[in-house]
Amino acid sequence: MISFSFPYLLKTLSRRAGLLAMAVCVIGSFALFSQPGMAQQRVSVVALVNGEPITSLDLENRMAFLRLLSNLQMSEEDFKTDTLEKLIAEKIKFQAAKKQFGAYLQEASQQARQLIDDSFKRGDKSGTQVLKEGGVTLSTVTDKYIADILWSSVLRSRFPRQFENLDNLAQLELEKLKAAQNEPQIKLSEILLQPTPNRPIEKTSELANKIVEALDQKANFSSIASQYSEAATASQGGRVNWMRVSQLPSVLRTPLAKASEGEIIGPLVLDGRIYILKKDGYRENGLADPKAATLTLARAVMPLASDASGEERLAAGQKLMAQVEAVGSCKEMAALNTELGSGALPLLRDLQVGSLSPQLQDIIMPLQLGQKSPALPFAEGMTVFMVCERTQPTADLPDIETLKQVEFEKLFTSISGRYLLRLQRKAVIDYRN
């Protein structure tokens, strides 16, 4: 095994199994690959990359696959051009990997096949079987995986100093997390698009806008990220681990702070790259999710008929608030509930904040011990809550290996695009009509 050369990317790529399992539901549609009309079409060379061909069959296979996964609405010509650029980039990666790590191609091929089997399996059939039966040219899929696996080795070999410090970087990040456990944190998903010599910033911006349009039409973010993003997180569907808000570039903090959960932000241009982001979560209390807190609540209920009018509920609420004003403890609150004769349980124990309705969460979460809520309408009548106990969740710090993976992904994303762009500029690319 050559685990020394690409352990982190293999760990990351293995996560594709869960993401690409989503694609299995459309694998049945891959019958279009094996339609007689396509089989009878003349296979031609559409591009030569340093003398090595990319065929029309390679291009048609990839286009059909991307179309099924992403549902991007763009002209056939633009779609073909963009897909061809992806294949050219993969070919350049593969060539660089083969030149430096050709002795490991067989091993990388075996690992690629295993990843394919895991990612596309359906029932008792392996991923390889499923793709073959669908008419997919397996070599084009396998070559992509091999390129991804060995590309990590290329970067680690080419830039050893940057990658040799992962242990220290992970330890430093752990110390920062310990010192900033109470800082606000945010969880994101990302799509990174890198302009290329044959797809300048204007064309890349057009692609980014098409992706945002598709996402606005409820296209799956993870599927698009896994196929289009050039960040290391692509293999995780673009998902980024929880991070401190202070780690974000300042230009991103305001739009992300204003965004609601699930909202798409972008396209945004940063350092010559284009980002599309999705806000997946936010927590004020750092690593400790406040919704994981457990509560004991006392309540007082003013009974009302289920068909009580709005005026009756308002009057009952005012009367209840006047009665609870003098209540100073949860014991007194529970006793008052008994006096009101509602029949409701006076104490609610071991309630997780996240199990409450969103509306009730917004009311209860800011309350301190002993504080009371306003009078709230419920089926049994108007209700006032008092917080008796609150057990805050403990912050679960990530382990060193997880943080090493995170640091690797940062370096990989930063270095990969620049080095690939350098190789693309040096490559001899012959486009064929």
| Beta strand 429-431 pairing with 45-49 | antiparallel
Same structural domain for residues 70 and 11? yes
Q: Decide if 48 is inside a domain.
A: yes
Same structural domain for residues 249 and 380? no
Domain that holds residue 378: 290-391
User: What is the full DSSP assignment across 74-90?
Assistant: --HHHHHHHHHHHHHHH
Q: Decide if 133 is inside a domain.
A: yes
Give percent of the chain above pLDDT 70. 86
The pLDDT value recorded for residue 193 is 92
Same structural domain for residues 276 and 342? no
Would you say 17 and 56 are in contact if contact means Cβ atoms under 8 Å apart?
A: no
A 10 A CB-CB count for 73 gives: 11
Same structural domain for residues 306 and 378? yes
* CB proximity list for 326: less than 8 A, separation 6 or greater: none
Q: Decide if 100 is inside a domain.
A: yes
Q: Tens of pLDDT along the chain (433 residues)? A: 233 334 444 444 444 434 444 444 443 434 434 444 444 558 899 999 999 999 998 898 888 777 766 667 778 888 888 889 889 999 999 999 888 888 888 888 888 888 888 877 888 888 888 877 766 677 777 888 888 888 888 998 999 988 888 899 889 888 887 777 777 888 899 999 988 877 888 889 999 999 999 898 888 888 888 888 888 888 778 888 778 888 888 888 888 888 888 999 989 988 888 999 999 988 776 655 667 788 999 999 999 888 888 888 999 999 999 999 989 899 999 889 888 888 788 888 888 888 888 888 889 888 889 999 999 998 888 999 999 998 876 666 778 888 888 888 888 888 888 899 899 999 999 998 6
User: Please, what's the b/e burial string for 96-127 (b: 16 or more CB within 10 A of its CB; e: otherwise)?
Assistant: bbbeebeebeeebbebbbbbbbbbbbeeebbb
Same structural domain for residues 302 and 410? no
Q: Decide if 1 is inside a domain.
A: no
Same structural domain for residues 116 and 213? yes
User: Which is it for the CA torsion 150, 151, 153, 154, positive or negative?
Assistant: positive
Same structural domain for residues 213 and 330? no
Cα first-last separation, the chain = 42
DSSP-H helix ranges across 6-101 = 7-13, 16-27, 36-40, 56-70, 76-101
Domain containing residue 33: CATH number: 3.10.50.40
Tokens of 418: 């620049």
Cα–Cα dist 303/428, whole Å: 81
Q: Decide if 68 is inside a domain.
A: yes
Same structural domain for residues 386 and 417? no
The pLDDT value recorded for residue 4 is 31
Tokens of 106: 């067989």
Same structural domain for residues 346 and 227? no
- Which residue's entry shows tokens 């569907």? 237
- How many domains does the chain contain in total? 2
Same structural domain for residues 61 and 192? yes
The pLDDT value recorded for residue 122 is 82
| 94-139 residue pLDDT tens | 999 888 888 888 888 888 888 888 877 888 888 888 877 766 677 7
Strands (E), 312-374: 347-352
Same structural domain for residues 130 and 234? yes
Same structural domain for residues 336 and 386? yes
